[in-house]
Amino acid sequence: MRDSSLIIHTVSDRQGAVALFAGLFFFIISIAGYAGLYYLNISQEETQAQFIEQITQKEDDLRPKILDEIFSLQKKIKTISGILSLHPFSSNTFALIERNTHPRVSFSSYSFSPKDRKINLKGEADDYGVIARQIAFLEGDQHIDKVEFGGLALKENRRVTFTMTIFVLPTLIATPETGG
């Protein structure tokens, strides 16, 4: 009988040892997994903090430039609006030009002489036919006395540059900005 109790005792010792080693193995794996997740979490938080810092830096770099430009443009618009409100005749000339400009013509220079009731423009058009239509538009307006043009030149991009002088009638002074 002694042999059988020894065998049972040895088997139970082996099972206990295997269970102990299995428990220790899973305990060590759990601690290693926890440590790995802990360091991964710290690494992710550091990376996130770096990204947030970079984004904040970019925002700070962009914000003053954009805001300065917006405030500068706002100030210019207020100034120009104030000037135009004091000079209805000259603001009427802008409305007149806007109303009578051909879609394929662009003006790059504007000057107005209220004493002579004369508007000087430098412009550019797609071709000579467009300039002819532009002149017809202007001559058809009831507030324009006459139109003179000259300085025709062909640019490398095949567009035609020109100068134009528009003589307006005194009735433009009494006409509201939207014109008629």
**Other CB atoms within 10 Å distance of the CB of residue 6:** 10
Question: Around Cβ 93, how many Cβ atoms within 10 Å?
Answer: 23
DSSP labels, 52-78: HHHHHHHHHHHHHHHHHHHHHHHHHHH
Give Cα 58 to chain centroid, integer Å: 16
N-terminal to C-terminal alpha carbon distance within the chain: 127
d(CA 46, CA 166): 68
87-174 classified as CATH 3.30.1360.100: yes
Q: What is the pLDDT of residue 89?
A: 61
Q: How many angstroms separate the CA atoms of 34 and 1, rounded?
A: 49
**Structural contact between residues 114 and 86, judged by C-beta atoms closer than 8 angstroms:** no
Q: Residue 133 burial (CB < 10 Å; 0-12/13-18/19+)?
A: middle
Structure tokens at 141: 């307006």
Identify the pLDDT of residue 151: 92
Rounded to 10 deg, the angle between the 2-86 and 88-100 helix axes is 110
What does the domain layout of the chain look like in residue ranges?
1-86, 87-174
Whole-angstrom distance, CA of residue 29 vs CA of residue 39: 15
Within 10 Å of residue 117's Cβ, how many Cβ atoms? 17
Looking at residue 150, its amino acid is G
- Residue-wise pLDDT tens for the chain (180 aa)? 555 555 555 556 777 788 888 889 999 999 999 999 999 999 999 999 999 999 888 877 776 777 788 888 898 888 877 766 665 566 678 888 889 999 999 999 999 888 888 999 999 999 999 999 999 999 999 989 999 999 999 998 999 999 999 998 887 765 554 444
pLDDT at 2: 53
